[in-house]
Amino acid sequence: MRVRTAYLFCLLAVLALSASALAQEGHPLVGTWYGDWGPTPTQRTQITVVMYWDGKNITGTIDPGPDAVALKVATLDSTKWMLHLEADAKDKSGAPIHIVADGKLSDIGSYNRTLSGTWNHGSTKADFKLKRD
């Protein structure tokens, strides 16, 4: 009887550990982030940022689709949860625009964590706020 109880206990322990391992999300930036950026509370531009983690690097895209902009630089300081992004886009006339975003990751333990900070879009200085979906 004791052997059967010990076996059952071990089986339940393995199942519990397996379930918690499957619940892990991985890198805190991975996923699709929705939000906006703009120089004023009323002048906002909607953005979507998709980020991936390959085990070494953060990669991704701003506004995936026909006008997608690939991230050139993406670094995370995990001691302060600060993110730095850079990308090169083009305006409607085809002129180059350099994008630089620096933000702080908040609610890290939450699935719906947020990222907010400064967004420089060419010469336009703004703020941004994104929420992971």
How wide is the angle at C-alpha 56 spanned by C-alphas 55 and 58, nearest 5°?
95
Please report the pLDDT score of residue 111 as a whole number.
83
User: Domain residue spans in the chain?
Assistant: 27-132
Distance of alpha carbon 97 from alpha carbon 91, whole angstroms: 7
pLDDT tier at 2 (50, 70, 90 boundaries)?
Answer: low
CB of 16 closer than 8 Å to CB of 102: no
Nearest to 85 by CA among 111, 49, 124: 49
The CATH number of domain 27-132 is 2.40.128: yes
The per-residue pLDDT for range 12-59, each reduced to its tens digit, is 444 444 333 333 456 889 999 999 999 999 999 999 999 999 989 999
| Mean pLDDT score across all residues of the chain | 85
The listed range with the strongest mean pLDDT (23-27, 63-67, 126-130) is 126-130
Q: What is the pLDDT of residue 67?
A: 85
Pairwise pLDDT comparison (80 vs 8), residue with the higher score:
80
Give the whole-number percent of the chain exceeding pLDDT 70.
80
Cβ atoms of residues 86 and 93 within 8 Å: no
- pLDDT mean over 79-106: 95
